[in-house]
Amino acid sequence: MNPSPDLARVHEQLADIYIQLRGLEFPEIGALGMPTAESGIAIRHRPLPIEVVLQEAENLGPTAFFPEKKTFKTAREYIKALVQLGHNRLVKAQDPDLGSFEVASRVALAHSEFYRHMQTVWQWGKKSEPFVLMHGDLTLHGNNLLWDDKLNLVAVLDWEWCYAVPVSFFVPPAWLIGFHPNPIRELCRSSISFLCETKALHASIEASPQQSALKKEWQDLPWEPHCALVLALLYPEAVDDVYWESFIYRFYSPDGEEVAEERLATFLEEPGVKGFLNRRVDEQKRYDEKYERYVREHGEPRACRCLGCERERQSFEILQELPRL
């Protein structure tokens, strides 16, 4: 089934963005710095996944894994830092969303199994170089794209999060199947729809007169849960969803759920696991009690109505009117 003319037009312009970004290659993983007398624009700073900023705001100490000015020479080194960052959230977050031992055990298993896979099987089977420029927000959110009423793409905003990544991290946007509050979970649950939309975007890339390595690199990409795995590395709060909604069916098939439950039982018998889980559940209860006391004394926190949040809300409403991507 061919896309509508409007949707084809959107795909064509998205293809142009990704072709241009894929054409920008760098010798290291990291963020760009301004030109100097000695050289032009180059990789000078640490890569800054949004998770680093979120953990910094929560005083979780993410700079231990992403120090200032730190750049990465290899994909293996970068993946290791992302794994440490995700583990850091699991063990330190004040509001871990682990309301019971059962929930906590499933979340902890997901992190253990997912990160073990990503540091062994996954990274050795994926192409790492070259390192290419990625817009930090575009993979997860479409509200950085401004369209006019004729569906002409007029601007791409918020480049402050961009940085060079291994080419295996350069993936199609999760919101191709629509704009959802939890786009990564929706991607896992709607893998066939994502496959269809990604193939349509790839067709636009292939049809482009511009030469691009993406024509080959994305040719087979939709046939596996590659995008969900990359997103879970970048956004560790999604590890639980990706593991239980996608990972176990892809890597434990044909009896994904049964194998996962067996691994959960084994995992719970490992030294220190039950103690860690009980501690985190207790911390969650104390956090919830503290929050309830705050609500009794001050009332429910009111939704933010600042200019920035209003602009985000308006952008989301406008995006909902676009053709379903």
Q: Could you read off the pLDDT of 237-253 as tens digits, one per residue?
A: 999 999 999 999 999 97
DSSP state of 255: S
Asked if pLDDT for residue 317 goes beyond 60, the answer is: no
98 within some domain: yes
pLDDT of residue 314 exceeding 70, the answer is no
Which two tokens mark 272? 């220190």
Q: Place 323 in a pLDDT band, splitting at 50, 70 and 90.
A: very low
* Residue-wise pLDDT tens digits, 118-160: 988 776 666 678 999 999 889 988 889 999 999 999 999 999 8
Residue 85 pLDDT grade (very low, low, confident, very high; cuts 50, 70, 90): very high
Q: How many CA atoms lie within 13 A of 318 on its CB side?
A: 15
Q: Which helix (H) or strand (E) holds 116?
A: helix 101-117
**CA torsion sign, 315 to 320 to 321 to 325?**
positive
Among 301, 325, 324, 315, which Cα is nearest to 147's?
Answer: 315
| Summary mean pLDDT of the chain | 87
325 occurs within a structural domain: no
Rounded Cα gap, residues 234 and 61, in angstroms: 17
Mean pLDDT of 158-176: 92
Instruction: Output the pTM of the full model.
Output: 0.87
Number of domains in the chain: 1
Model pLDDT, residue 303 = 58
Do 193 and 177 touch, CB atoms closer than 8 A? yes
27, part of any domain: yes
User: Does 182 map to a domain?
Assistant: yes
Domain contains 247: yes
| Parent domain of 71 | 5-320
Burial call 34-73: b when 16+ CB within 10 Å, e when fewer:
eeeeeeeebbeebbbbebbebbeeeebebeebbeeeebbe
| Residue 215 is assigned to a structural domain of this protein | yes
Q: Residue 222 has what pLDDT? A: 54
